């Protein structure tokens, strides 16, 4: 694997311009002072209660996501280009989703094979021909970005269903401002604090056309046992909206109401953090106790907006991801500003043959995988693991894609032994309303805390950093 690009110390070891003030500050700050502030940060996170749970680990306590106090810094110029690329990509994603549930021009043009859509378990035939308010399917997108050198950012994956992590972006900034006012004073940093206002504005803007001038928005959670429940309650509080579970909502005459102490109150927009399968037992899984019976009927009648729309999971599929450059060109007639990571589709015999011959060099992922689970990282895998994956690929090639093992960029990170480079990625959050797309400058930087590890997911031992975009 190639030597990783370090975002603070460039290829020749010289401090890059965005990091010069941070480098000076680090030179002036005793290591024990940094250790003390790290401990303070952990104490604050514990006091606030920022935790997550790990799926499939019934015995586990809720955990703190480790927080690294050294910020990741992007220049205004780097961010400007990334922002353009993010807006372009989300525009194309929305057009793609509308098309596959309506005219299917992209399938007729032969750009994407029919079976990749129609035989996909997250394609929702219930959405065929269904109008969604203002043609917005992905209201909140989390686009995972990796960097490999001074100039190139790649999209690693698209999260168009229920992207999480924005609460950590906001809390990380608050903690950093509290603990490092001296470091903040030496930089001009674009604010992320307006994200809740931008989100609420975007959600209200996509309310059904006949809603009141102040549409009622609610955040729907699966409940306290969901791994991201902290984020659900945090966001509802920040937005000033009700946090509801399925049992708090009722459908009457194809309209959705929430139960309140003053009686039923009409709901116009539901920011839902409940997966499609569980959202309405009359339409999807009949055994779901998380959903609202009749919700899809109200949705079909145009009386409620669901954000994100039902059926957006097809855009999260990693095989569909591999077609994103073609999707951007097809709908926008533009070259993609943000490139994809080169991807082999194991569903194609020639690609599968290549992957089977090079398993020890590649990263292999399940097309519906998430959270760092179900992956093979060839260069660090044992022979037994590689052989087990070889059998999986032969049995079910359509369930996997493969990519080269990228040398993800590194950032200086506090470790027990002092500052050391660790691999990072970035999840910016893209908001789409009725008439504009907004990206708050920054995002969630995830960091692989284990030396040499490329897996940044919190469920796999990763942590987070505050992301600073210089406001120049």
The pLDDT tens digits for 359-401 are 999 999 999 876 566 789 888 889 999 999 999 999 999 999 9
How many Å apart are CA 215 and CA 207, to the nearest integer? 7
The per-residue pLDDT for 416 is: 82
CATH architecture of the region 209-303: 3-Layer(aba) Sandwich (3.40)
The alpha carbon of 456 is separated from its chain's Cα centroid by a whole number of angstroms, namely: 13
Residues 6+ apart with CB under 8 A from 260: 242
User: For residue 33, with 0-12 CB atoms within 10 Å meaning exposed, 13-18 middle and 19 or more buried, which class applies?
Assistant: exposed
Residue with tokens 């514990």: 46
Residue with tokens 């109150």: 265
| 97-103, Cβ contacts within 8 angstroms, sequence gap of 24 or more | 97/137, 97/138, 97/160, 97/309, 97/311, 97/312, 97/314, 97/315, 98/132, 98/135, 98/137, 99/331, 100/314, 101/127, 101/128, 101/129, 101/130, 101/311, 102/128, 102/129
Can you read off the two tokens belonging to residue 437? 């797309």
> 35-71 burial by CB neighbour count: b if 16+ within 10 A, else e?
eebbeebeebbeeeebebbeeeeeeeeeebbbbbbbb
The per-residue pLDDT for 253 is: 96
How big is the chain by its Cα radius of gyration, in Å?
A: 22
Q: What is the pLDDT of residues 129-146, one digit of tens each?
A: 999 999 999 999 999 999
Sheet holding 242-244, edge to edge: 242-244, 217-220, 269-272, 305-307
Beta bridge partners of 64: 51
Q: Helix/strand/coil (H, E, C) string of 42-76?
A: HHHHHHHCCEECCCCCCCCCCEECCEEEEEEEECH
How many Å apart are CA 24 and CA 418, to the nearest integer? 16
Residue 195, helix vs strand vs coil: helix
How many Å apart are CA 139 and CA 94, to the nearest integer? 9
What is the DSSP code string of 215-227?
--EEEE---TTST
**Residues of the chain falling short of pLDDT 70:** 1-2, 49-63, 370-373, 458-460
Look at residues 166, 179, 164 and name the one whose alpha carbon lies nearest to residue 45: 179
The per-residue pLDDT for 58 is: 44
pTM above 0.85, yes or no: yes
Q: Give the torsion sign (CA, 285, 287, 289, 292).
A: positive
The per-residue pLDDT for 1 is: 52
User: For residue 398, with 0-12 CB atoms within 10 Å meaning exposed, 13-18 middle and 19 or more buried, which class applies?
Assistant: middle
The per-residue pLDDT for 44 is: 87
Q: Are strands 418-427 and 410-415 parallel, antiparallel or unpaired?
A: antiparallel
The per-residue pLDDT for 101 is: 98
For 418, phi then psi, to 5°, come to 115, -165
How many Å apart are CA 215 and CA 106, to the nearest integer? 35
Q: At what angle do helices 166-179 and 229-239 cross, to 10 degrees?
A: 70
Q: Would you say 466 and 176 are in contact if contact means Cβ atoms under 8 Å apart?
A: yes
Can you read off the two tokens belonging to residue 362? 């590649």
């Amino acid at each position: 694997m190639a030597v990783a690009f370090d975002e603070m110390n460039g290829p020749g070891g010289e401090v890059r311009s965005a990091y010069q003030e941070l480098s000076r500050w680090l030179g002036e700050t005793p290591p024990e002072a940094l250790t003390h502030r790290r401990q303070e940060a952990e104490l604050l996170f514990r006091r606030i209660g920022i935790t997550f749970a790990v799926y499939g680990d019934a015995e586990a306590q809720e955990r703190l996501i480790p927080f690294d106090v050294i910020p990741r810094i992007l220049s205004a110029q780097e961010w400007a280009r990334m922002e353009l690329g993010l807006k372009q990509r989300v525009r194309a994603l929305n057009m793609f989703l509308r098309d596959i549930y309506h005219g299917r021009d992209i399938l007729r043009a032969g750009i994407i094979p029919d079976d990749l859509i129609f035989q996909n378990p997250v394609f929702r035939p219930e959405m065929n021909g269904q109008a969604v308010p203002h043609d917005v399917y992905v209201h909140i997108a989390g686009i995972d970005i990796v960097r490999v050198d001074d100039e190139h950012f790649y999209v690693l994956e698209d999260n168009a269903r229920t992207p999480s992590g924005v609460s950590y972006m906001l809390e990380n900034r608050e903690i950093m401002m509290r603990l490092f006012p001296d470091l903040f004073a030496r930089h001009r940093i674009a604010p992320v604090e307006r994200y809740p206002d931008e989100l609420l504005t975007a959600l209200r803007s996509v309310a059904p056309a006949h809603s009141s001038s102040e549409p009622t928005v609610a955040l729907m959670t699966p409940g306290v046992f969901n791994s991201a429940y902290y984020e659900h309650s945090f966001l509802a509080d920040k937005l000033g909206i009700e946090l509801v579970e399925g049992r708090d909502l009722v459908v009457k005459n194809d309209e959705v109401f929430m139960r309140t102490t003053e009686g039923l109150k009409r709901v116009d927009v539901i920011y839902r953090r409940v997966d499609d399968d569980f959202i309405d037992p009359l339409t999807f899984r009949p055994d779901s106790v998380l959903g609202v019976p009749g919700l899809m009927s109200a949705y079909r009648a145009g009386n409620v907006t669901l954000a994100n729309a039902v059926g957006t999971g097809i855009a999260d599929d990693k095989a569909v991801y591999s077609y994103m450059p073609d999707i951007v060109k097809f709908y926008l007639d533009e070259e993609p500003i943000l490139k994809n990571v080169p991807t082999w589709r194991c569903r194609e015999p020639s690609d599968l043959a290549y992957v089977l011959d090079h398993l020890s060099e590649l990263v292999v992922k399940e097309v519906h995988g998430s959270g760092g689970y179900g992956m093979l990282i060839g260069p660090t895998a044992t022979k037994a693991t590689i052989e087990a994956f070889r059998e999986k690929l032969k049995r079910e090639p359509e369930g996997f894609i493969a990519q080269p093992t990228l040398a993800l960029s590194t950032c200086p990170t506090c470790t027990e032994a002092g500052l050391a480079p660790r691999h990072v990625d970035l999840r910016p959050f893209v908001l789409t309303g009725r008439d504009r797309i907004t990206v708050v400058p920054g995002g969630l930087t995830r960091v692989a805390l284990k030396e040499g590890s490329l897996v940044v997911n919190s469920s796999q031992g990763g942590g987070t950093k505050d992301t600073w975009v210089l406001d120049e």
